[in-house]
Chains A and B, each alone.
Chain A
Amino acid sequence: MVEHRPWNDIIAYAILTFGVFIVAFPVYLALIASTHDAATVVGGNMPLSPGSHTLDNYYRAIFVGGSRTSREPVGHMLLNSLISATGIAVGKIFISILSAYAVVYFRFPFRKTAFWIIFVTLMLPVEVRIYPTYKVVSDLHMLDTYAGLILPLIASATGTLLFRQFFMTVPDELLEASRIDGAGPFRFFKDTLLPLSVTTIAALFVIQFIYGWNQYLWPLLITTQDSMQTIVTGIKKMLTTTDELAEWQLAMATAVLAMLPPVAVVVFMQRLFVRGLVETEK
């Protein structure tokens, strides 16, 4: 059906525009809300055009914190989030590329079993194993530490699967040529497999960075000190005040700030990311 009717185009664009509007409007609202003062936002009739308190709001959100709620400034939370998200992404890539290398290229007893065990963990998201994980982390005295935020989220099967699929497409002759060229298992990994995996690594980094950044339940559970909060849990805590009005304009500024790093990662790594997911050239 390769018909070309102008009406089809118009309807298609209308539907797409509507979809974009639905997705984008709340984001726009957050952006607008973060530019007004508290009274305007709470007043109920929030304007749809930017207000004049932009600098003030963002300055307070990043460096000062909420005035009456004694919350930590967002700057520190951003740093915590950055450290844990980067840690999760890098750690996951490190572990999954090595495990995929082992599963694909080495013949060891119970290789298939090992692979299936890894595969099965796909069915166990953080929430399912959250109590035992909490117990382990707490027994290891990792509550309120970066290690506690990062380590339990590093183990996952998605990365291993992605790398496994990629390694399976690398021609066997490359391994054989390497063997004849005198490269041992580590050299082959470092000199051939790793450079070929760059785009896959980039794709995985983007996915896992955002996954790590958006973690909510786990950080909420294991951080008790405000100094270890991540920004995603921080937003929530800004809104639960007992006897004060929530400072919506600061919460919105925080939300906007929380959105920026993942957006930046996607924007800057987009080309590699897309190539990593569709790459066929070997």
Chain B
Amino acid sequence: MANVTLRDVRKTYAGGFEAIKGINFEVGDGQFCVLVGPSGCGKSTLLRMVAGLETITGGDIDIGGRIVNQIEPAERDIAMVFQNYALYPHMSVYNNMAYGLRNRRMAEPEIDTRVQEAARILELGAMLDRKPRQLSGGQRQRVAMGRAIVRQPKVFLFDEPLSNLDAKLRIAMRVEIRKLQRRLKTTSIYVTHDQLEAMTLADILVVMNGGQVEQIGNPLEIYQKPATTFVASFIGAPPMNLMPLRSDEIKSQFAGDSRAAASDAGILGIRPEDFVISSDTIAGGIALGLTVEAIERVGAETFIYGTRELEVQGVAANPGELPPGEVIVRIPGAIAPAIGERIRAIAPREKLHLFSADGRKRIDL
């Protein structure tokens, strides 16, 4: 059981490329931390630095009160689950799990107890004598988890462990991982590019972009109050609609709000699910006239892709020159307007997100 603390962690490669540009965050004891971001954002590199597989060129990584910068992976008391599982192909499932314990000179009866226990938890009991190639993807995944569990480490590290599985299995394993972690109460750091995985698994969500942290927090908080336009469009599917506005438009729309009026606000964000199709006028909110371009029905909900018309009601004083663009509207059920139809989507004021013109700052309304 341990906290993991990162203090101004940096990674610069020999060629001068800065992969990690000073990252600070803390994962409390027993918490599940998810690092999420697009590919190339440095999330895997950061995880591998915590594991000790990559050197740290600046800052400190602290696991359970001990700075581990110079400590070998095996001595850090961590266990890692790899994307491609990295099972030893020539060893049986049992030996795959027991190998790390044998290397630590643990007594054979104790090893057996731990492996049997892990096999029971993961329902691998019948497969202990098989080789990895005789297992399905999901079973291999479980063996990789088992290898981590038997070690009873301070920290679990997961490097996109589900991305090699098919969609259905991924959801099942996601739930299993969460249940397992709750039960073992082991501090975990989990890397993924899938925002859905990130939202459902995390106690703490760290959204990364370009080697930096964009936002850290509780997943729902991040969803409700994204700190930057990057987070706004990365978290949530389909992504938040972002519309650039001119300052006079902002002023007229948010006239009563001194913060918005005084700031350099320039981008308005509305989540697809916050729209309602209605012809009502909405005080303080916003209304968009849309021409329906495409419809996606997924059963419980329907996504409408519309092109915004020039006239934007609600940005009343000076409509006109808003650049046209695509807007996604999510409505419940399967009843949708026809393609080509003109609709009016409204969103209440409390659902509007306002960002600075460069997208780097959120302006609370």
Contact indicator B103/A180 (Cβ below 8 Å): no
Complex: how many Å from CA A177 to CA B103?
Answer: 12
Q: Which of A171, A179, A191, A192 contacts B53 (CB 8 A)?
A: A179
Chain B residues with CB below 8 A from A191, complex form: 88, 99
User: With A171-B84, A171-B86, A174-B86 as given contacts, are A180 and B133 in contact (CB-CB < 8 Å)?
Assistant: no
Contact indicator A179/B72 (Cβ below 8 Å): yes
Complex: how many Å from CA A181 to CA B144?
Answer: 12
* B96 shortest CB reach to chain A, Å: 9
Complex: how many Å from CA A217 to CA B343?
Answer: 92
Q: Which listed segment binds A: B22-30, B75-83, B186-194, B257-265? A: B75-83
Chain A residues with CB below 8 A from B51, complex form: 176, 180
Most buried by A among B51, B90, B104: B90
Complex: how many Å from CA A176 to CA B83?
Answer: 12
Size class of the contact patch on chain A: 10 to 19
User: With A191-B99, A195-B90, A196-B89 as given contacts, are A179 and B82 in contact (CB-CB < 8 Å)?
Assistant: no
Contact indicator B73/A180 (Cβ below 8 Å): yes
Interface residues of A in 54-94 (CB under 8 A from B): none
Chain B's closest residue to A179 (CB) is: B73
* B86 shortest CB reach to chain A, Å: 4
- Interface 1/0 per residue, A199-237 and B, CB below 8 Å: 000000000000000000000000000000000000000
User: With A171-B84, A182-B100 as given contacts, are A196 and B72 in contact (CB-CB < 8 Å)?
Assistant: no
Most buried by B among A176, A180, A187, A191: A180
Chain A residues with CB below 8 A from B87, complex form: 177
Chain A residues with CB below 8 A from B133, complex form: 281
Determine if B74 is an interface residue (Cβ-Cβ < 8 Å): yes
Contact indicator B100/A176 (Cβ below 8 Å): no
Determine if A3 is an interface residue (Cβ-Cβ < 8 Å): no
Contact indicator A192/B88 (Cβ below 8 Å): yes
Chain A residues with CB below 8 A from B88, complex form: 174, 177, 191-192
Contact indicator A196/B90 (Cβ below 8 Å): yes
Complex: how many Å from CA A161 to CA B82?
Answer: 29
Chain B's closest residue to A173 (CB) is: B86
* B202 shortest CB reach to chain A, Å: 23
Complex: how many Å from CA A94 to CA B74?
Answer: 29
Chain B's closest residue to A196 (CB) is: B90
Interface residues of A in 154-189 (CB under 8 A from B): 171, 173-174, 176-177, 179-183, 187
* A170 shortest CB reach to chain B, Å: 10
Chain B residues with CB below 8 A from A179, complex form: 52-53, 72-74
- Interface 1/0 per residue, B46-87 and A, CB below 8 Å: 000001110000000000000000001110001110111111
Chain A residues with CB below 8 A from B74, complex form: 179-183
User: With A182-B103, A183-B103 as given contacts, are A177 and B86 in contact (CB-CB < 8 Å)?
Assistant: yes
Interface residues of A in 127-179 (CB under 8 A from B): 171, 173-174, 176-177, 179
Complex: how many Å from CA A229 to CA B79?
Answer: 58
Contact indicator A177/B80 (Cβ below 8 Å): yes
Complex: how many Å from CA A174 to CA B87?
Answer: 7
Determine if A282 is an interface residue (Cβ-Cβ < 8 Å): yes
Complex: how many Å from CA A192 to CA B99?
Answer: 11
Complex: how many Å from CA A191 to CA B88?
Answer: 9
Chain A's closest residue to B87 (CB) is: A177
Chain B's closest residue to A177 (CB) is: B86
Contact indicator A180/B80 (Cβ below 8 Å): yes
Chain A residues with CB below 8 A from B73, complex form: 176, 179-180
* A27 shortest CB reach to chain B, Å: 39
Contact indicator A181/B100 (Cβ below 8 Å): yes
Contact indicator A187/B78 (Cβ below 8 Å): no
Contact indicator A176/B82 (Cβ below 8 Å): yes
Chain B residues with CB below 8 A from A182, complex form: 74, 100, 103-104
User: With A176-B53, A281-B133 as given contacts, are A181 and B99 in contact (CB-CB < 8 Å)?
Assistant: yes
* A75 shortest CB reach to chain B, Å: 40
Chain B residues with CB below 8 A from A171, complex form: 84, 86
Complex: how many Å from CA A111 to CA B88?
Answer: 27
Chain A's closest residue to B76 (CB) is: A180
* A111 shortest CB reach to chain B, Å: 15
Residues of A whose CB lies within 8 Å of any CB of B are 171, 173-174, 176-177, 179-183, 187, 191-192, 195-196, 281-282
Residues of B whose CB lies within 8 Å of any CB of A are 51-53, 72-74, 78-80, 82-90, 99-100, 103-104, 133, 147
9 A–B contacts, CB within 8 A, in A order = A173-B82, A176-B53, A176-B73, A176-B80, A177-B88, A180-B51, A180-B74, A181-B100, A182-B74
